[in-house]
Amino acid sequence: MTGQYKIAGLTFFLQTVYPYTHRLCAEYRSDEKTDFDIVTTERDIAAEKENAPEFNDRYLESLAVYRKLCEKILSDYDGFLFHASAIAVDGKAYLFTAPSGTGKSTHASLWRKVLGERAVMINDDKPVIRKTDGKFYVYGTPWNGKHNLSTNARAELCGICELTRGEINHIERVMPSAEYIRVLMNQSLRGNDGESMLKLLGLFDELVKTVPFYRLACNISEEAARVSYNKMNVKGEKI
């Protein structure tokens, strides 16, 4: 199976064993000039199965495609995968990250509830972040989590927030530190070689200098969304 798609601002030719990934990427079809090719084989599927034997081969191949895509973006196009819920408000993107099950999708849904049509879900699980012309942008991808929430769009990244559970809603700005880098590293797809790691750390170093980082303790109330938005939004408005 073959097709051509544009994801994270990059157009690529895709050849796969199964048609599943092509259906998954249908909204990202493109006829623009390609930047690179991605080809998957049974060997790639077998490699993914070693890490996740409970999934079928078609789904595992889609993960192999995403892995190859993210590795290419990291090596050649100043970008990386970040495990987070990415939401855009008035064209500016905010990321919520936390270990699975902590509630980042729930918190992003509260932003959509409180802010209405102003809030657009870019991706609820696996957005891509790329640096372009000195700024970092968040891109939607078809790999969007169990709720299948994403948009084929990009928005300038204006804040990253680490979520923790708490009875009282409280958010604070965190200055650049080793802890900040740890959070970024834990939630990113890393290459297996030293060159890829150095490239990723270089992007992190630039990111922490330009994008504010926050830590939020929150419950699942609408107040939690108001507290975080009021602190993070670039307009400085209160809701």
What's the confidence (pLDDT) of residue 167?
Answer: 92
What's the confidence (pLDDT) of residue 177?
Answer: 73
pLDDT of 191 strictly over 80: no
What's the confidence (pLDDT) of residue 176?
Answer: 74
What's the confidence (pLDDT) of residue 98?
Answer: 86
Distance CA(113)–CA(132), nearest Å, equals 31
Distance CA(7)–CA(154), nearest Å, equals 10
Q: What is the pTM of this model?
A: 0.93
Question: What is the rounded average pLDDT of the residues 119-138?
Answer: 96
Q: To the nearest whole percent, how much of the chain has pLDDT over 90?
A: 81
Distance CA(120)–CA(108), nearest Å, equals 10
What's the confidence (pLDDT) of residue 148?
Answer: 86
Question: What is the rounded average pLDDT of the residues 160-168?
Answer: 93
pLDDT of 35 strictly over 90: yes
Q: Does residue 185 or residue 121 have the better pLDDT?
A: 121
Domains of the chain, start order? 2-77 (no CATH), 80-232 (3.90.228.20)
Instruction: Go through 1-32 and write b for each residue having 16 or more CB atoms within 10 A of its CB, e for each that does not.
Output: eebbbbbbebbbebebbbebbbebbeebeeee
Q: What integer best gives the mean pLDDT of the chain?
A: 94
What's the confidence (pLDDT) of residue 146?
Answer: 82
Q: Does residue 153 or residue 103 have the better pLDDT?
A: 153
pLDDT digits (tens, 9 = 90+) for 145-158: 888 889 999 999 99
Find the DSSP H helices in the chain: 20-24, 42-51, 57-76, 104-115, 178-186, 194-210, 222-232
CA 94 to chain centre: 10
> Where is average pLDDT lowest: 13-22, 33-42, 203-212?
203-212
For 8, phi then psi, to 5°, come to 60, 35
